């Protein structure tokens, strides 16, 4: 099936009968490293700075929310909520996607409105329902009152005026490019360890290919083809086929990419989400409306492929998807730079 990038991807309807040998191109191994853009090379000092910023609640207007609040790297890269809780208990309309392996996506956010990790890092800090800072200048002004950050930005980026909002985003993105979960059971299976996946998971692996799931969930991140240029989104209409799930899980009130472009052709288009660690990131879909993975599999099969799966088939696919949970590197909490004798946060 030929995918149409930046537009609706045709879907392959099919049955769940018969057997199918695995095609080597349908499944891929996750790399151990993520590529960095030429204008933001990854260095240990930049990663350390970005990690501090990622955990620092002072990047929010009232000092209560950090990047890690909604995308916890001490766990699965989400907050396991239907929608996240921002400053002053504000709520957005979409579920927080995982930050793990986001470095392998060609666009960011559910609607693909950010072309890179750097672009994405700039958004939540200024979003009223997330971290709520009033402007880029306000962020820079606050950070410049923290001596430890001033010296680190000068060391990492050079120059007296190194502490800029662009460099805040560059540092956070550099840290996020280290958030990779390799060596999942599926990866080990593809490398030749045939005992890495159970018989049920191997049946599920064949089944997702046969019924058409891998038309979209492909590549090493199972979120689209490998090697797409940054900013080249890989989108799919959701839902495609009308079903009882549209109303049950309110799948259509949010129009997806259309909310960004206001192009009718983009109604209900979404960036294809990763399958990596999907067993750990419930609840599911853009609005966090589905609580269990087995139900999410049923919804996707019916709404995208017009296929009704048996309980046994669902169990096999879920077993395969569990095999995509990778090895999480150990994350230690950073020591944040202090503001001796004063606080930057007002009542």
Please provide the DSSP assignment of 40-67 as one string: S---HHHHHHHHHHHH-GGGSTTS---H
Start-end of H helices in the chain = 44-55, 67-70, 117-126, 136-143, 147-157, 165-176, 185-190, 199-211, 245-248, 258-261, 293-305, 311-322
109 CB contacts (<8 Å, ≥6 apart)?
A: 97, 120, 123, 271
CA dihedral 213, 214, 219, 222 (to 10 degrees): 20
Query: Is-contact 279 325, C-beta < 8 A?
Result: yes
**Active-site position among 118, 130, 209, 313:** 130
Residue 83 half-sphere exposure, CB side, CA atoms within 13 Å?
11
What whole-number distance in Å separates Cα of residue 307 and Cα of residue 337?
54
Is 130 noted as a catalytic residue in this protein? yes
Q: List, by residue number, the catalytic residues.
A: 130
């Amino acid at each position: 099936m030929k995918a149409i990038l930046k537009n609706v991807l045709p879907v392959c309807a099919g049955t769940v009968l018969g057997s199918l040998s695995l095609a080597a191109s349908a499944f891929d191994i996750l790399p151990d490293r993520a590529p960095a853009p030429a204008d933001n090379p990854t260095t240990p000092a930049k990663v350390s700075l970005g990690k501090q910023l990622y955990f620092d609640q002072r990047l929010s207007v009232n000092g209560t929310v950090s990047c890690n609040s909604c995308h916890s790297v001490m766990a699965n890269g989400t907050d396991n909520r239907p929608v996240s809780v921002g400053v002053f208990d504000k709520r957005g309309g979409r579920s927080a996607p995982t930050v793990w392996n986001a470095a392998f996506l060609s666009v960011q956010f559910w609607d693909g409105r950010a072309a890179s990790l750097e672009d994405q890092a700039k958004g939540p800090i200024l979003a009223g329902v997330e971290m709520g800072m009033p402007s880029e200048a306000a962020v820079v002004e606050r950070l410049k009152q923290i001596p430890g950050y001033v010296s680190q930005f000068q060391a990492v980026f050079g120059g007296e005026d190194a502490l800029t909002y662009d460099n805040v985003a560059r540092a956070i993105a550099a840290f996020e490019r280290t958030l990779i979960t390799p060596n999942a059971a599926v990866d080990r299976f593809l490398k030749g360890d045939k005992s890495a996946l159970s018989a049920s998971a191997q049946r599920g692996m064949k089944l997702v290919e046969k019924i058409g799931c891998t038309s979209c969930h492909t590549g090493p991140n199972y979120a689209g083809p490998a090697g797409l240029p940054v900013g080249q989104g890989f989108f799919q209409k959701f839902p495609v086929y009308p079903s009882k799930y549209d109303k049950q899980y309110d799948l259509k009130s949010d129009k997806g990419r259309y909310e960004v472009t206001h192009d009718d052709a983009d109604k209900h288009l979404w960036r294809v989400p990763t399958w990596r660690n999907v067993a750990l990131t419930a609840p599911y879909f853009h609005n966090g409306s589905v609580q269990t993975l087995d139900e999410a599999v049923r919804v996707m099969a019916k709404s995208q492929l017009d296929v009704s799966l048996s309980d046994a088939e669902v169990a096999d696919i879920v077993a395969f998807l569990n095999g995509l949970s990778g090895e999480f590197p150990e994350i230690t909490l950073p020591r944040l730079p202090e503001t001796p004798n004063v606080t930057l946060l007002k009542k």
